[in-house]
Amino acid sequence: MRRSEFLRAVEDEFGARAVAIMNDLVLGAVGNRTAAEALDAGVPPRDIWLALCAETDVPAERRYGVGRLEPRRR
């Protein structure tokens, strides 16, 4: 998962709460950091995404493959 995919996934999942979730929710799975702090510290975006999902009870079916853009049609 790329950083851009991570940010898109957070926005899609949490909507108006995305900024607050990124900056305020401390995630034990990524070293007791917020998602924003973890990104800045170099934690892989996929690890942060999965920690966010676990902490906020995102259903498993919405955890994988999110944030990707649809492939371009030729």
Each residue of 31-40: pLDDT tens digit? 999 999 999 9
Domain range enclosing 30: 3-62
Tokens of 25: 């929710």
Domain count, the chain: 1
Domain membership flag for residue 70 = no
Percent of the chain with pLDDT over 70: 86
pLDDT digits (tens, 9 = 90+) for 3-25: 998 999 999 999 999 999 999 99
Residue 65: pLDDT band with limits 50, 70, 90: low
pTM: 0.84
Domain membership flag for residue 69 = no
CB atoms within 10 A of CB 31: 12
Residue 62: pLDDT band with limits 50, 70, 90: confident
